[in-house]
Structure 1
Amino acid sequence: MYDQSFTLRTISNELRKSDFIKRPRLRAETVKAQELKNAVEKANGYWNIGNCLLESLLKGKSVFRSAEFSDELLIRKINNNLNKNFGETSDSRDNVIANLRELLSEGIEYRVYRLDIKNFYESINHSLIKHHLDNSQLISQPTKRFVLSFLDEHIKRGRSGVPRGLSLSATLANVAMKEFDYKIKQHHNVFYYGRYVDDIIIITDRKEMTHKFLKLIRQTLPAGLFLNNKKQKICQTSGDVKPHKADAPPIKELEFEYLGYQFIVTSPKTVNGMRPGQYHREVRLDIAKSKINKTKTRIARSFLSYNSDKNFEMLLSRLKFLSSNFSVMDADRDRKRMAGIFYNYHRINPQESEGLKDLDAYLIKVASSGWGNISSKLHSTTTVSQRRKILRISFARGFSEKTFLHFSHTKMSEIQRCWKYV
């Protein structure tokens, strides 16, 4: 049985392998023991929750992190206590993409809603969280007390919602959204519903009236939460699938972005002997246009950094990092995971991908044209041999060949410094 108490044994279970990488001093047994002792003393004595977080700005929004490692351990323990009782297992990003692709290929008519909740974390209503905590017989009293103090202290300091940046906040937000998720999922016109934080996707049978359905969603959202109309996208098929002639181009029915992918749904080709009800739509996946633009910005910043410091080896490292694959530590799962151009988008077809072609074309243009502020300065400070090295770098090849590079934690931080938060 899961133990919700705050003891040396239970809190030591919150230690992760990544902690010893990020904080080498923890490798000393005395230091580790002291941190665990500090956490237990805080939990069983007076834990000043109001001072346990540090605040910083990221893209204009306040982001929080633990002030001390002992605070981090306690927040992890509280989060796990809640997750064991409130948490619902969710599919991985890859499974969601695969399932969506399968659903979108169906030959029936449907409508897709891509919705976004405005200022999600900052607008979470505490009363819903408190209601679920009060009604739960499974959450321990100390855990409830810590969560309520955590929320109250956040408000006392002139803030709203839950602190952005903490895994505990994501869990509390899911608790607040529990009833909304259930109600929309059970709607008779909905055959797929998914939500990742503030990012919602819904697929319906197209029999609902769009304006009434959106009104229902707005009314069902917890008090204080509102849809972001600027990020809203609604698209639909023209009816049941209709194949195009074999000698004609496919008809694009709809297109949208979700979880870093671009979904392009088109009509299938006519096949002799196949009856109307047997056809499925073609669903092509590509890198989302927003991700393409973000990568282009990082390429540009890499060149701007070179134009400033003339560190050509760092420029090459940055471009190779963007166009290849590597491993990163997944702190939540306490293990390494693969990332990069192939592993982030492995469901695309490189032969069909416009995104890979676009990235390669952009890199070639900057490196070889000599036009524009970035490219002209690059040409004046590099040799032909150096520019050839840049032109050997390819996003399409990094994807197809699954090019894998090894970077130390320090090197990776240095590489990412010039585009941090982009």
Structure 2
Amino acid sequence: MDSSSHRSPTFKRPATRPRIGTTVPIRTTGSVSCFTGGDQAVSTGGPAPRIVRFPSVLVDSSAAPFARSSPMNLTSILDHWDRSCRPHGAPRPPPHPGFSGAIVARIDTDRGPLAIRGWPPGALPRVRLEALHQLLAHVAGTVPVAVPIPAADGQTLVEADNRLWQLEPWLPGAADFHSDPSPQRLVAAVTTLAAFHQSALCFVPDDDARTWFASTAAARSPAVDERLARLDRWKRNWNTLVQRAHRHTRVASTDKDLRSLTESVDSINQLFQQGAAFVTDQLQMASRTDYPCQPCLRDPWHDHLLWTDDRISGLIDPAACRTDNVAIDLARMLGSLVGDNAADWDRGLAAYRQHRPLSLPESGLVTVLDQSGVLMAGAVWLERLADNRLTHPAPRHVHARILAVTDRMQALINHL
């Protein structure tokens, strides 16, 4: 290996920078999830287990969570709910599984289509999930969310197979904004988001859940502090992460897509080093400001927005939901829907302000969280490669996501 790979990285400081308070949208090319991506099934079902080599990252499709929970096991889990929730046929995983390790499957029942969800072991505390269910019930009259159905014991969570399980309505619609974008849809998306924020602001959590869902007039943004801590950890271990990522991806292959994964590691490495100092400075400035905080979705990106015609018919996968400033939701939503289209950013923010005012510091925080999210998405994927944690049944889907992330990182660096 070239000796230069052992040097400490130099985190370059751009000569010029956008000011906090100036919205600089970043181009989105495809659907990119940063830190709190989908909680859908990572599963295959179907044929016999196989090993997929993504270069040296071994993906055992039999190890997918859905495969480990057979239809018989899911049926026994569903026995905790009343007979109207019994499936008419075999549970079906979603067509585009996510990366969280959760299990999600659709079942057809007398109640209509339902979703059975098994949370990853140890993912979130039970008290937080129960409080999330209370929040969803609170906002359900205002926005389309899936409120979990109580089991026979009155609880919305059932413990089985070392997981917490819940049953909820399967919401209609398709996450198809990119294939059918329009100003009307964009306004509908931010209007729905504003409605969620207005309703969630009135939610009163139990004492045990205030850590995650309390509202306050002035506090530091948890996202800012979390990202600063994560950036610091990555900077201190960056060379090691890059070397480990290369070790897991440098395998000879005749497949062009798989072979170029190593190139993606190089791109993430270079772009992260070019942007890390700037993003850190912006987050540090934001950390010195207090913002109004309330329950936020924190991950309302493209694939979590279901559409029926020109209206939002489902806000799905709210696992990341917790207290923060509303800027985190606006950054995530607009960045994933319209990329760096300045006119659409202005249209989206203007439509949101018609329902909920944004202060100048909050507007600046939208930019900071959008830019830091773009840069850090690359580091998240590099860390997954370094830790050999890509257990997804569709390697090319993983590769496409990584390419989309590096495209957004490059757009950020081009703006600096």
How would you bin the TM-score normalised by the shorter chain? under 0.3
Larger Rg: 1
Q: If the length of structure 2 is used for normalisation, what is the TM-score?
A: 0.25
Q: If the length of structure 1 is used for normalisation, what is the TM-score?
A: 0.24
